[in-house]
Amino acid sequence: MQKSTLLLLLLLISVYAFHVGQKRSQEIAQGKIKNLHSLPKYYGYYTALWAFLPALLLLFIWLGFESPVINHSVIETLPEESRSLSNDLKGLLINDIHNSLSGSAGETKPELKAAVEYLRDLKIWSNWLLSFLAVSFAFMGMYFARSRIRQGHRARNQVEKTVMWFLLGSSLIAILTTVGIVLSVLFESIRFFGKIPLSEFLFGLQWSPQIAMRSDQVASAGAFGAVPLFTGTLLISSIALIVAVPIGLMSAIYLAEYASLGFRSVAKPLLEILAGIPTVVYGFFAALTVAPFIRGLGADFGLDVSSESALAAGLVMGIMIIPFVSSLSDDFINAVPQSLRDGAYALGATQSETIRQVVIPAALPGIVGGILLAASRAIGETMIVVMAAGLAANLTANPLEAVTTVTTQIVTLLVGDQEFDSPKTLAAFALGLVLFLATLVLNILALHIVRKYREQYE
């Protein structure tokens, strides 16, 4: 039986268990529900939970241990010389056997034939045993719960407690995600820094991660100085912010202070569409239209513009983050109390003077928070730079040249073949760590400023 079918079967059994529990409680109540501690349906839920949860637990444990146990016993059947192999070779052998079973390896090697047969039998056995055990667990749970139903049985409290655990567990997933990110990135980074010193990574000016695949190959040993990536990222992000901050801020001011309600209700959602367009679309736009356009424009002025110029990527990224700046700024400008504006008007200030000298300074922390969030978005943006920025790690501040970014390098290092013991692959995780830390600092700073500012006027 397939695992998904089994899961479905378990669900069906629990629906049945719900009815069993409900009916049982009604029998015990002898027609008077007030005799029961909880409503009959809670006895139903109680029985259903007892039917479902233990069987589910069994299923998960089985899934966790099935393949190691099977692999181990398959190895045991192999001849002596295969059993004494190193762990890596054993893994390869197991892979061979699995592939022959699924038919993707083509011809089965004769010496593995017995093992393949054995594996097939084991798999079938394991499946049937699991199905049998899980279903019997479900029924045992159901009958156990049914036998516990009494008049004073506090079913509701127990059901509610279980639900509470589920709610708590769900909210912990967010924490687990963060822990997972930190651990996965950190472990691989530590392995990386075991091979390449941290100082070289942080201060080295050379980035050429292509490492010789074979030891006898004549090639560079690879250089892992990430400074050109950092400057490239900063260059593109700064261009993006130079585009986005004035446009976003002025749009927000106009929408919040000048625009009529009708105009605002049309223009604001339209501007926000810019943030909802998938980044791969921007990347395509940047590579296909903007970059050649800028190149042509540069040629008209006699400038030599690279076809993967930082300017094109930055410009398009700037368009993308306009809404991040504008909608947060808009919120904060709206949050400035009307009394401040009235005070300025009473002193004879014009509207623009009020905005520039009263409203903006009052909303400044919030606006800065919004800009920081936009900056973190720009630094972490991937698809636009992968598609429109270059791969060559140039250490330059010239926006017309091609630069590469941290995210681009992560993608190029990890797409394709991966070897988890070469510094080339591990470098991607080290870059990921830097990226995570940088955006984390920006986010925490921004959220802190925003939160503090919100309290100020509430």
The residues near 458 (Cβ < 8 Å, ≥ 6 apart) are: none
**d(Cα 289, Cα 278) in Å, to the nearest integer?**
17
Q: Please, which residue, 6 or 255, has the CB nearer to other proteins?
A: 255
Q: In terms of Cα–Cα distance, which of 378, 375, 380, 377 is closest to 434?
A: 380
Residues 312, 283: contact at Cβ < 8 Å?
Answer: no
By beta-carbon proximity to other proteins, the closer residue of 135 and 156 is 156
CB of 249 to other proteins, least distance (A): 8
Tokens in use for 307?
């076809």
Contact by Cβ (8 Å): 335, 363: yes
Tokens linked to 4: 């998904």
Nearest to other proteins of 175, 218 (CB atom): 175
Using the 8-state DSSP alphabet, how is residue 178 labeled? H
Residue 52 or 429: the one with the smaller Cβ distance to other proteins is 429
Q: Which is nearer to other proteins, 362 or 434 (CB)?
A: 434
Q: Pick the closer one to other proteins by CB: 131 or 233.
A: 233
Q: Which residues pair with 223 in a beta bridge?
A: 208
CB of 191 vs other proteins, minimal distance in Å:
11
DSSP code string of 17-51: HHHHHHHHHHHHHTT-GGGSSS-HHHHHHHHHHHH
Least Cβ distance, residue 322 to other proteins (angstroms) = 5
* Beta carbon nearer to other proteins, 118 or 254: 254
Helix or strand or coil: residue 402?
strand
Residue 132 beta carbon to other proteins: minimum distance, rounded to whole angstroms: 24
Cα–Cα distance measured from residue 62 to residue 1, given in angstroms and rounded to the nearest whole number? 14
* Minimum CB distance to other proteins smaller for 110 or for 278: 278
| 326 φ/ψ sector (left φ>0, alpha ψ -120 to 50, else beta) | alpha
Among 331, 368, 377, smallest CA distance to 446 is for 368
Q: How far is the CB of 208 from other proteins (least distance, A)?
A: 22
Closest approach, Cβ 217 to other proteins, in A, equals 26
Shortest distance in whole angstroms from residue 387 CB to other proteins: 6
Tell the residue number behind the tokens 């039998």, with chain if given: 121
Please tell me the distance from the alpha carbon of residue 192 to that of residue 183, in angstroms, as a whole number. 14
Nearest distance, CB of residue 287 and other proteins, angstroms = 7
Compute the least distance from the CB of residue 409 to other proteins, in Å: 11
Contact in structure between 318 and 239 (CB atoms under 8 Å): yes
| Residue pointed to by tokens 């000048």 | 258
Q: Are 228 and 207 in contact (CB under 8 A)?
A: yes
Query: CB 186 → other proteins: shortest distance, Å?
Result: 10
H helices within 30-112, ranges in order? 40-77, 80-83, 87-102
Q: Which is nearer to other proteins, 246 or 337 (CB)?
A: 246
**Nearest distance from residue 90's CB to other proteins, in Å?**
15
State in angstroms the smallest separation of the CB of 111 from other proteins: 26
Separation CA 370–CA 360 (nearest Å): 13
Q: How far apart are CA 156 and CA 88, in angstroms?
A: 53
Q: Is 381 or 401 the residue whose CB approaches other proteins more closely?
A: 381
Phi, psi of 224 (to 5 degrees): -120, 50
Q: Are 70 and 119 in contact (CB under 8 A)?
A: yes
The angle subtended at Cα 360 by Cα 358 and Cα 365, nearest 5°, is 120
